[in-house]
Amino acid sequence: MAEPVLAADGTPLKASLKRALRRQKMRALLLIAPLLLFIMLTFIIPIGQMLFRSIENQIVSDTIPRTVAALDSWDHDADEVPPAPVFEALAKDMMIAAELKEHTRLGSRLNYEMSGISSLFRKSGRRVDDIGEVYTDQFTDLDPAWEDPATWVQLLAAPSWIAAGDAWDGSGAEPAFEISNDATTQFPETADIYADFARVIQTEDNDSPTEEEPWNVVYLALYNDLMANPGATAPAELAGLIDTTRSALPGFEVEDVKASFEDIDDDWISADVWETIYTYSPAYTNGYFLNAIDLQKTPDGIEWQPENEQIYLTLFWRTMLMSLTITFSCILLGYPVAWMLANLPSRKANLLMILVLLPFWTSLLVRTSAWKVLLQNQGVINDLLVWFGFVADDNRLALINNATGTIIAMTHILLPFMILPLYSVMQTIPPSYLRAAKSLGATNWTAFWRVYFPQSVPGIGAGSILVFILAIGYYITPEIVGGTKGVFISNRIAYHISSSLNWGLAAALGAILLAIVLALYWAYDRIVGIDNVKLGG
Amino acid sequence: MPILGGNGLSATKSDNAFVEFERVQKSYDGENLVVKDLNLSMPKGEFLTMLGPSGSGKTTCLMMLAGFETATHGEIRLDGVSINNIPPHKRGIGMVFQNYALFPHMTVAENLSFPLEVRKIGKSERDEKVMRALGMVQMQDFAGRRPAQLSGGQQQRIALARALVFEPELVLMDEPLGALDKQLRETLQFEITNLAHELGITVVYVTHDQTEALTMSDRVAVFDDGRIQQLAPPDELYEAPQNSFVAQFIGENNTLEGVVQEIRGDSCIVKLDNGDIIDAQPVNVSQVGERTKVSIRPERVEFDKTRLSPDAHTLKAEVLEFIYMGDIFRTRLRVAGNDNFIIKTRNAPDQVRLTPGSQIEIGWLARDCRALDA
What is the per-residue pLDDT across B11-30, written as a single tens digit (0 to 9) for each? 444 567 899 999 999 998 88
Read off the amino acid at residue A170.
G
Residues B261 and B321 grouped into a single domain: yes
Q: Is there a single domain that holds both residue B11 and residue B75?
A: yes
Checking if the pLDDT of B51 tops 90, the result is yes
- Chain B residues in contact with A343 by the CB 8 A cut-off are none
Instruction: Tell me the per-residue pLDDT of A121-178, one tens digit each, with 9 for 90 and over.
Output: 999 988 888 888 888 888 888 888 888 888 888 888 888 888 888 888 777 778 888 8
Domain A315-532: what homologous superfamily? MetI-like (1.10.3720.10)
Strand, coil or helix: what is A419?
Answer: helix
* Side chain identity at residue B279, one-letter code: D
Q: Are residues B214 and B274 in the same domain?
A: no
Alpha-carbon separation of residue A337 from A60, A266, B114 (angstroms): 57, 68, 28
Q: Which of A303-307, A442-446, A468-472, B171-175 comes out lowest in average pLDDT?
A: A303-307
| Domain contains B27 | yes
End-to-end CA distance of chain B: 21
The CA distances from residue A380 to A178, A375, A389, A412, A481, in Å, are: 75, 7, 14, 17, 15
Residues 74-113 of B with CB under 8 A from A: 87-95, 97-99, 101, 103-105
CB < 8 Å to B155, chain A: none
- What does B326-359 look like in DSSP terms, one character per residue? SSEEEEEEEETTEEEEEEEEE--TT---PPTT-E
Q: Report residue A259 CA to chain centroid gap.
A: 37
Distance CA A311, CA B298 (A): 93
* Amino acid sitting at position B99: N
Residues of A in contact with B166 (CB under 8 A): 440-441
Nearest residue to A296 (alpha-carbon basis) of A316, A269, A272: A272
pLDDT at residue B1, rounded to an integer: 37
Last residue of a domain, one of B216, B244, B272: B244
Check CB contact under 8 Å for A450 and B66.
Answer: no
Which of B118, B158, B175 to mutate to test binding with chain A, by most A CBs within 10 Å of its CB? B118
Q: Is B10 helix (H, G, I), strand (E, B) or coil?
A: coil
DSSP assignment letter at B183: H
Q: Are residues B240 and B263 in the same domain?
A: no
CA of B58 vs chain A CAs: smallest distance (Å): 17
Q: Across-strand partners of A534?
A: none
Show residues of chain A in contact with B115, CB under 8 Å.
440-442
Is the CB of residue A127 less than 8 Å from the CB of residue A158?
Answer: no
CB-count burial class (<10 Å; 0-12, 13-18, 19+) for A92 = buried
Å between A14 CA and nearest CA of chain B: 30
Q: Residue B162: its chain A contacts at CB < 8 A?
A: 440
Total domain count, chain B: 2
Shared domain check, B237 and B324: no
Q: Is residue B289 part of a domain?
A: yes
To the nearest whole angstrom, how far is the Cα of A443 from the nearest Cα of chain B? 6
Give residue B95's pLDDT.
93
Q: Residue A437: list chain B partners with CB under 8 A.
A: 103, 114
Element (H, E) at B44: none
Residue of B nearest to A444 (CA): B89
Q: What is the ipTM of this complex?
A: 0.81
Residue of B nearest to A431 (CA): B101
Do the chains contact at B103 and A435, CB–CB below 8 Å? no
Residue B108 within any structural domain of the chain: no
**CATH label of the domain that carries residue B175:** 3.40.50.300
Q: Do both B74 and B184 map to the same domain?
A: yes
B153 occurs within a structural domain = no
β-strands B369-373, B291-296: how paired? Answer: antiparallel
* Residues B89, A447: C-beta atoms closer than 8 Å: yes
CB pairs A-B closer than 8 Å: 68
Whether residues B216 and B345 fall in one domain: no
Domain spans in chain A, listed from the N-terminal domain onward? 1-52, 59-129+266-285, 132-254, 315-532
Identify whether residues B271 and B327 lie together within a single domain. Answer: yes
C-alpha neighbours within 13 Å on the C-beta side of residue A437 = 22
Question: How distant is the alpha carbon of residue B175 from its chain centre?
Answer: 12
A434–chain B nearest CA distance, Å? 9
Contact B114 A437 (CB under 8 A): yes
Q: Which residues of A touch B105 (CB under 8 A)?
A: 454-455
Supply the pLDDT for residue A532.
63
Say whether A432 and B97 touch across the interface (CB within 8 A): yes
Other C-beta atoms lying within 10 Å of the C-beta of residue B182? 9
Question: Using a CB-CB distance cutoff of 8 angstroms, which residues of chain B are in contact with residue A438?
Answer: 67-68, 87-89
| Among the ranges given (A216-225, A327-336, B304-313), the one the predictor scored with the smallest mean pLDDT | B304-313
Q: Is the pLDDT of residue B165 over 90?
A: yes
As a whole number, mean pLDDT of residues A200-214 equals: 86
Domain that holds residue B350: 253-373
Q: Which residues pair with A179 in a beta bridge?
A: A157
CB B18 within 8 A of CB B170: yes
Integer Cα distance of A370 and A380 in angstroms: 11
Q: Are B104 and A432 a contacting pair at CB < 8 A?
A: no
Q: How many CB atoms lie within 10 A of CB A114?
A: 19
The one-letter amino acid at B68: F
